[in-house]
Structure 1
Amino acid sequence: MDRLVYSTTVVNAAYPRSKRYSTVRSTDRLQIAVNRYIPLKKDENGLTLIFLHCSGLQKESWEEVIRLLFEQDLPIKEAIAFDWVGHGDSAVLNEGKLGYDLLWSDGSRDLLALIDQLQLPEPIVCLGHSLGGGQSLGACAKRRRQFAGCVGVEAVAYPFPGDSAVSSFASLSAHFPDTFASKQEAIDFLMSIHYKWFNKAVRDRLFDTMLYSPAGSDKIKLKSSSMQLAALFSASPESVGELYTLLPFVDTPVLLISAGDSNWNPSEAPEMLASTLSHCESVTVPKAHHMLIQEIPEVAASIIGPFLTKTLARYNREQAREAAVASDMAEIIDRGFKELVEGLDSLANLSLKLSRSKTAKL
């Protein structure tokens, strides 16, 4: 891929974590590794994009999509991608602090913490894949007016049946090797599983960034350990159930992208998510699989691009309407309070009439 221009930084994860044993000690503070990408044609009035990765991968898994979006000459100010606490560079930063009992919505809180610490400007769009899709939706529910838009690619936010592939994968992932004698041995293992279907540019970038040699060791390790992956998947029943209950509180316009041949989410998940969200458009990519961000990034970018253009246009229209009524805002607020009081008085009068009616019958 053409080289992306980016800088790295570190922010603090949300604290405290939702579950006691998400960290070794209750006072442990986790950190998040962040990449900040700047388009060659930076639009100072454009969108700030924040990308959340799927389970087992890391922030660089989105880079090919980011590059392709930049090439579309979209109104983008900045693109940001971060590693969740047990993944990628964040896992290395948090070594010795990570526990076994997780809640995925902590990733939603981490996204909001990142926005606050970096003081990111609006309009903001969050884009998440799989686990990251569910966490993005959770953040939209937790802070309902923060985001101008949200993109969920194969978002995991609908409960799995007890016999789903995720249940067996939790056990399987605990036994995945994460330490190797050489980088080539690590690559050979990764190619033996789903990485062999990844776009070559995506795959090569991941091989360059997801492996490291710990200090004082001649071994090569995956930054995201097998134990952390097992903890992540074992948390899925509670985590996904919680995220699904949050969906009615999402007011943000959402684009859901589903893969036609995916068997990761339940078959009814795309329709159920779309019907639960108040402002949602859905796209299904025929013959695509769950890892479509990594396998066919050009298709994903071609779908996301137009949504981003519409999102910024909608945001600008809303800002124009706000500006048009700014001088009348005091009157609008007064009228709102008057209508509120009138409504409360009507309810009180109705309650009084019902109470008198019941008393008269006695």
Structure 2
Amino acid sequence: MSFTVETKSSPAYFPRHVGSTVLADDRLTLVYHKYKTTEIIPKDAVKFNLIFAHGTGMNKSVWTFIIKNLYQLSQASTGKNKWYLDSCISFDNVSHGDSALANKGKLGWVYRWDEGGKDLLRLLNYENDTTDDFKNNLTSRNIAIGHSLGGHFVVLAGFYDPNILDSVVPIEAVLYSDENSTKRFRKLFAKIASLLIDTFDSKEDIVEYFTKFSFYKKMHPEALKDFMEDEIITVIEDGEIKYKTKASKEAQMSSYICSALSVPQQMKLLPLMRLPVCHVIGSNGNWNPPQSIPFVREAIPKRYLSATYDIPKGEHLVHAEQPEDTIKILQEFILKRQADFENEKPDEYAEFKYGKDRNKILGIEYGHMLAGELSEVTGFKGSFDTKL
């Protein structure tokens, strides 16, 4: 595998919901890893860019193992299954990881999940403003992948701006709630609050916590190692050395509890999705209620429910506990999107049908529109199939 990686920062979405920052004018920062291939990609080939969003309590490096392996698979691919992975981003939510350190003193007590989707889009626009590496056009496609809370982010980002994303892959995403699940989560959150620890007296204690007692103890060893190395910091408190997690207990609990603000609204948006969705769950997952799976898959229009996967034996942290299965699914979906996009180009891009002759494009498209032939107008995406 051949790629570069650098740690960068971007402005977060602004303005934010009341309570999301201590002061209304506080500006937040997003810290992220950016990966870039060193492989030479043919000019006319379709290349893929991937954006990864983590779940509550985790950080950008939980995706490192998956990203490395995807680069390896891409660069080893050949023939009809050849695909190109160009750029990747994995970012820390504003209250987690290095973003939390950058935003210290500014983070409020409210964590709006919908703002995470807007943060993802702000990050992509920042990258395009500064590097042009995340265009979504005839030769460059952006796929957003998220787990749990991050899965919620990518679905909302796809709703807010389906033009900058090719498709989204929510993995064990929290996309559903009802009265019974809300009651269950309230009890569960109280238990979680009693179990969460963010400060330790020794390095041995914090390592033991992560590897033997935390939610993360069943992670793939390499994924857990990457996550821990990016999460544990050493600080001096009252003259003593302490070991802490970058995401504070308060920030994690705020993320959990504030799902009640965003999930019910997001449920109403699923029928309005207008880009391909690949819905992935762990078959043994019990964080989301069982009824959430049919709800999500029936709410998304059939035209846009591009693929569904139930990972055998997978639980809620399936992306990190069974990363090999997750990698296989992601490569399979990328190849599907590569094939599907070839068929979609004529409907999505007039310049593909008619070349880059601006006058010809405008003449033909306006002609169809003024004649009421809306099913022929590029951009209507099959919304109309008869004349007015």
Q: Which residue of 2 aligns with 1:255?
A: 278
C-alpha separation in 2, matches of 1:42 and 1:95: 40
Q: Which residue of 2 aligns with 1:345?
A: none
Q: Tell me by how many angstroms 1:86 deviates.
A: 0.5
Q: In structure 2, do the counterparts of structure 1 residues 150 and 335 end up closer, same or farther at CA, with 3 Å as the change threshold?
A: same
Runs of 4+ in 1 over 6 A off after TM superposition: none
Choose which of 88, 91, 99 in structure 1 pairs with 2:100: 91
Question: Are 1:166 and 2:185 matched, yes or no?
Answer: yes
Q: Which residue of 2 aligns with 1:241?
A: 264
C-alpha separation in 2, matches of 1:291 and 1:82: 18
Q: Which residue of 2 aligns with 1:331?
A: 364
Q: Tell me by how many angstroms 1:338 deviates.
A: 4.1
Question: Are 1:121 and 2:140 matched, yes or no?
Answer: no
Choose which of 232, 237, 241 in structure 1 pairs with 2:255: 232
C-alpha separation in 2, matches of 1:195 and 1:185: 15
* Greater helix share, structure number: 1
- Name the amino acid aligned to 2:222: A
Q: State the identity as a percent.
A: 26
Helix, strand or coil at the partner of 2:217: helix
CA deviations 1:92-125 (Å, max 9, x no partner) are 1111111111210100000110111110222111
Question: Are 1:47 and 2:48 matched, yes or no?
Answer: yes
- Name the amino acid aligned to 1:158: Y
Helix, strand or coil at the partner of 1:218: strand
Unaligned runs of 5+ in 2: 75-82, 129-133, 375-388
C-alpha separation in 2, matches of 1:50 and 1:234: 25
C-alpha separation in 1, matches of 2:2 and 2:336: 28
C-alpha separation in 1, matches of 2:104 and 2:40: 36
Helix, strand or coil at the partner of 1:152: strand
The answer to whether the 8 Å contact 2:233/2:244 transfers is yes
Helix, strand or coil at the partner of 1:310: helix
C-alpha separation in 1, matches of 2:273 and 2:181: 29
Q: Which residue of 2 aligns with 1:16?
A: 15
The answer to whether the 8 Å contact 1:173/1:229 transfers is no
Q: How does 1:14-163 map to 2 (within 5 A)?
A: 14-17=13-16, 19-41=17-39, 43=41, 45-73=46-74, 74-119=83-128, 120-122=134-136, 123-163=141-181
- Name the amino acid aligned to 1:331: I
Instruction: Say which one has the larger Rg.
Output: 1
Q: Which residue of 2 aligns with 1:314?
A: 340
Question: Are 1:177 and 2:234 matched, yes or no?
Answer: no
Q: In structure 2, do the counterparts of structure 1 residues 136 and 265 end up closer, same or farther at CA, with 3 Å as the change threshold?
A: same
Q: Tell me by how many angstroms 1:163 deviates.
A: 4.6
Helix, strand or coil at the partner of 2:269: helix
Q: Tell me by how many angstroms 1:159 deviates.
A: 1.4
CA deviations 1:18-64 (Å, max 9, x no partner) are x2111111110000001011235363641111000011101111111
C-alpha separation in 1, matches of 2:2 and 2:85: 17
Q: In structure 2, do the counterparts of structure 1 residues 236 and 219 end up closer, same or farther at CA, with 3 Å as the change threshold?
A: same
Q: In structure 2, do the counterparts of structure 1 residues 214 and 334 end up closer, same or farther at CA, with 3 Å as the change threshold?
A: farther
C-alpha separation in 2, matches of 1:194 and 1:152: 20
Q: In structure 2, do the counterparts of structure 1 residues 340 and 51 end up closer, same or farther at CA, with 3 Å as the change threshold?
A: same
Q: In structure 2, do the counterparts of structure 1 residues 150 and 194 end up closer, same or farther at CA, with 3 Å as the change threshold?
A: same
Choose which of 177, 195, 198 in structure 1 pairs with 2:216: 195
Question: Are 1:218 and 2:241 matched, yes or no?
Answer: yes
Q: Which residue of 1 aligns with 2:321?
A: 295
C-alpha separation in 2, matches of 1:209 and 1:317: 41
The answer to whether the 8 Å contact 2:220/2:323 transfers is yes
C-alpha separation in 1, matches of 2:282 and 2:170: 12
Q: Tell me by how many angstroms 1:187 deviates.
A: 1.4
The answer to whether the 8 Å contact 2:236/2:242 transfers is no
RMSD of aligned residue pairs (Cα, Å): 2.1
Q: Which residue of 2 aligns with 1:357?
A: none
Helix, strand or coil at the partner of 2:262: helix
C-alpha separation in 1, matches of 2:320 and 2:253: 22
CA deviations 1:190-244 (Å, max 9, x no partner) are 2212222110001111121101123676211100110011111111122111211
- Name the amino acid aligned to 1:34: Y
CA deviations 1:265-298 (Å, max 9, x no partner) are 1101122111111211211112110101110100
C-alpha separation in 2, matches of 1:226 and 1:42: 44
Task: Say how many residue pairs are matched.
Answer: 339
Q: Which residue of 2 aligns with 1:351?
A: none
The answer to whether the 8 Å contact 1:50/1:80 transfers is yes
Q: Which residue of 1 aligns with 2:310?
A: 284
Q: Tell me by how many angstroms 1:147 deviates.
A: 1.3
